[in-house]
């Protein structure tokens, strides 16, 4: 229950208009801090859902694949420039962002991650690496404004943020696959 309250509190703080306005005023902060923080809030809240509805998760997410696919679809959806842009102008999209990232991305991620094999986890990391590289190249090399509410320089900054994130994931994958991980497992 404590984790649920922490997640709910985090979600509440992130949804406060002054906080949301501040985080959404800079494109890279909006994409790389606010959205992951909402997913983390859902991740924390997921423990209570797992305890209250174990049959649901066992039936529909037995091996973790359906949950991780839902997580992936939601994360891909929120990296589309138009959807990120609409959250700033359409209130219902802002509400949908908070609900979908917390409950349709964070909760399934929590339930799925431990159920996935190491190979499946690596495939998820590889997918997000390719996605972030693609989005980074798109944002850096597009000279026109992709989001009406942000400047082109904000797009370029976000593009470099995507590239940096992809590089960090590659470093993690190399480290994870070329070191003895058995010493870290219980």
If one counts every other C-beta atom within 10 angstroms of the C-beta of residue 76, the result is 14
Contacts of 26 (CB under 8 A, 6+ apart): 154
Judge whether 76 and 131 are in contact, CB under 8 Å.
yes
* Structure confidence at residue 171 (pLDDT): 97
pLDDT at res. 186: 65
- pTM comes to 0.92
In the three-class reduction of DSSP (H, G, I as helix; E, B as strand; rest coil), residue 180 is classed as: coil
- Nearest Cα residue to 68 out of 121, 103, 104, 112: 112
Cα–Cα dist 153/142, whole Å: 11
Residue numbers of the chain with a pLDDT score lower than 50? none
Answer for the pair 64, 121: CB distance below 8 angstroms, yes or no: no
Residue 183 confidence (pLDDT): 81
- pLDDT at 160 (0 to 100): 97
């Amino acid at each position: 229950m404590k984790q649920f309250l922490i997640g709910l509190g985090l979600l509440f703080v992130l949804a406060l208009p002054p906080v949301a306005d501040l985080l959404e005023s800079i494109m890279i902060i909006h994409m790389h801090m606010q959205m992951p923080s909402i997913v983390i809030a859902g991740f924390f809240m997921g423990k209570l859902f797992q305890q209250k509805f174990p049959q649901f998760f066992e039936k529909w997410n037995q091996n973790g694949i359906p949950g991780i696919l839902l997580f992936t679809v939601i994360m891909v959806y929120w990296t589309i420039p138009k959807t990120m842009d609409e959250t700033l102008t359409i209130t219902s999209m802002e509400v949908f962002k908070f609900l979908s990232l917390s409950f349709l991305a964070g909760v399934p991620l929590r339930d799925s991650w431990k159920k996935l094999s190491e190979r499946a986890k690596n495939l998820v990391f590889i997918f997000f690496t390719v996605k972030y590289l693609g989005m980074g190249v798109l944002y850096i090399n597009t000279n026109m404004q992709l989001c009406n509410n942000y400047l082109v320089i904000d797009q370029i900054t976000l593009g470099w943020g995507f590239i940096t994130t992809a590089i960090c994931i590659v470093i993690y994958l190399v480290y994870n696959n070329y070191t003895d991980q058995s010493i870290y497992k219980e």
